[in-house]
Amino acid sequence: MEKTTLLQQRNDDLRAAYKRIVKASANMKYVSRATIIALLMEQPAPRFYLLPYQARMYIVNHYRMVNSGRRKQKMIEDLVENYERLRNEYPGAARGTLYCMAAEQPAKSFYLSKHRIEEILFDYSGRN
């Protein structure tokens, strides 16, 4: 069985969200691609697409990441919020377990720029 990477999973989840938005807007006369992408930028994601060691790095060093881009900073803030909530819910759990759990929690968005979403969808559509 072929193992899916987190980036492949993220791209597949983004494409599924794209299909849902397009299907939901099928009754409308015209919905621009820019509108669809703006909606995608705000869609919740099934998880944070991070490996446990990446989640640990962001959680432990979040105070050092103040110069990160706006979307990345928001992702880090949401990840730390998940971690803190889980730490309170499971006070005896090992930190490594909590990092993994925090990364697997639903995310508030895909934390992708408009440009990156367009790249992923462009690759998906197969147009050159």
Per-residue pLDDT tens over the stretch 17-56: 999 998 888 787 788 888 889 999 999 999 999 999 999 9
Q: Strand pairing partners for 107?
A: 45
Per-residue pLDDT tens over the stretch 74-112: 999 999 999 999 999 999 999 999 999 999 999 999 999
Report the predicted TM-score, pTM, of the whole model to 2 decimal places: 0.83
Q: Is 83 exposed, middle or buried (0-12, 13-18, 19+ CB in 10 A)?
A: buried
User: Which residues have C-beta within 8 Å of that of residue 29, sequence separation ≥ 6?
Assistant: none
